[in-house]
Amino acid sequence: MQDLKRVWSGIGWLEATALVVLGVTLALVLTGQVSPVALAIWLVLGYFGYMARSVIEEAQRFQPTEPPTIWAITLWANLGLMALGLGSFGWYLVGGGSVAWIPFLVFVAGMIGLRSWRRSVTARLYAWRIPALKLLQKGEYRQLVRQLEDEATAGRGHPDKLAMVALAYIEMNKLRQAENLIDRAMNLAPTYASVNGALGSLRRHQARYDDAVHAIQAALVFEDNANSRYYLGLCQYLAGDTTAAQTTLRGIIDHPDLMRQGQVYGAFILGQIAEEDGDSEGARDWYARLAEDAPRVLPTLEEEARRHKQTPYAETLKSNVRAMQRIVAQRPVSEEEGTGAA
């Protein structure tokens, strides 16, 4: 019964309307008031409308980051080919026979060609991302700004590139410049994952953790990934919402795509929450996981705290790094004592 309730609660107004229309149409067919051919036509048209809505929504998500011509070609080619494919299927249903296979084969060939073209276009449009991410990961923030800022701010601006440059400015502790770029990106693409992710990073470094939570949640609506959820859990914890932080971090701590920093810092936070709840055994388990990769992660966190010195976020980070260092330093002693007692 609960499963059935969940299914019904997940049905939107469009799906509910479609079910009602389908029921009415079937009733009309069974009573002889609508022919099977008309039913097939209406079903094909209804399904096309439903699929077209999804295609248009997906296209609108990426419109701010693509050249208008490429965006329009992609949208209209998808809609046209989908109409051709569904139309040929409907034609076959109403007795078109083998002739209906001709437009269907054209549809298949067109989709293959469109996908191939999109792959090449996407590779060209987003060729800048991997080099930019590498610079960001290596800490070469000034070089990233030099290479990308002019492109990001040219014309009306490119929201994805604006967000990337903003992240570099955040790491350089130039928060005002970052805020200006993010404001511009938000005007262009307020729902875009990278834009809201950059806003979440900015608010975290400003110690505005509640605002950071809202921004990261908006990013996750657009695109879900483990690392964004780690930052969500981190900001929830720093904002004082330990219950939400625990739920979020437990959900991704074992995710294979979670970066090492998320594994270590996430384990620390979960250990701290366990201690606050009086679960000393659970805390020890989390701290054991923390210690596995802490030597490789703590220097990175120390460097981040140093870059953002004299800010509330940096002081919090520095305090947490010291706590993690104490945990790692004490573990071998604790283990030896435990072995001796046994």
Domain limit, last residue, from 84, 105, 125: 125
Domain limit, last residue, from 125, 151, 172: 125
Q: Is residue 22 situated within a structural domain? A: yes
What pTM, to 2 d.p., does this model score? 0.77
Q: Is residue 130 situated within a structural domain? A: no
Report the interhelical angle of 226-238 vs 209-222 (nearest 10°): 160
Q: Is residue 216 situated within a structural domain? A: no
Residues contacting 204, CB < 8 A, separation 6+: 212, 231, 234, 235, 238, 313
Counting Cα atoms < 13 Å in the Cβ hemisphere of 181 gives 31
**Sign of the alpha-carbon torsion through 250, 253, 255, 258:** positive
User: Number of structural domains, the chain?
Assistant: 2
Written as tens digits, the pLDDT of the chain (342 aa) is 445 555 555 556 666 666 676 677 667 666 766 677 777 777 788 788 888 888 998 888 888 888 889 999 999 999 999 999 999 988 888 888 888 889 999 999 999 999 999 999 988 888 999 999 999 988 899 999 999 999 999 888 899 999 999 999 999 999 999 999 999 999 999 999 999 999 999 999 999 999 999 999 999 999 999 999 999 999 999 999 999 999 999 999 999 999 999 999 999 999 999 999 999 999 999 999 999 899 999 999 999 889 888 889 999 999 999 999 999 988 754 444 443 333
Q: Is residue 69 situated within a structural domain? A: yes
Domain residues for the domain of 120 are: 12-125
Q: What is the pLDDT of residue 311?
A: 86
Q: Is residue 66 situated within a structural domain? A: yes
Domain limit, last residue, from 125, 142, 173: 125
For tokens 């609960």, what's the residue? Answer: 2
Q: What is the pLDDT of residue 70?
A: 92
Counting Cα atoms < 13 Å in the Cβ hemisphere of 115 gives 6
Structure tokens given for 148:
């990308």
Q: Is residue 163 situated within a structural domain? A: no
Q: What is the pLDDT of residue 13?
A: 63
Q: Is residue 327 situated within a structural domain? A: yes
DSSP result, 255-286: -TTS-HHHHHHHHHHHHHHHHHTT-HHHHHHH
Q: Is residue 173 situated within a structural domain? A: no
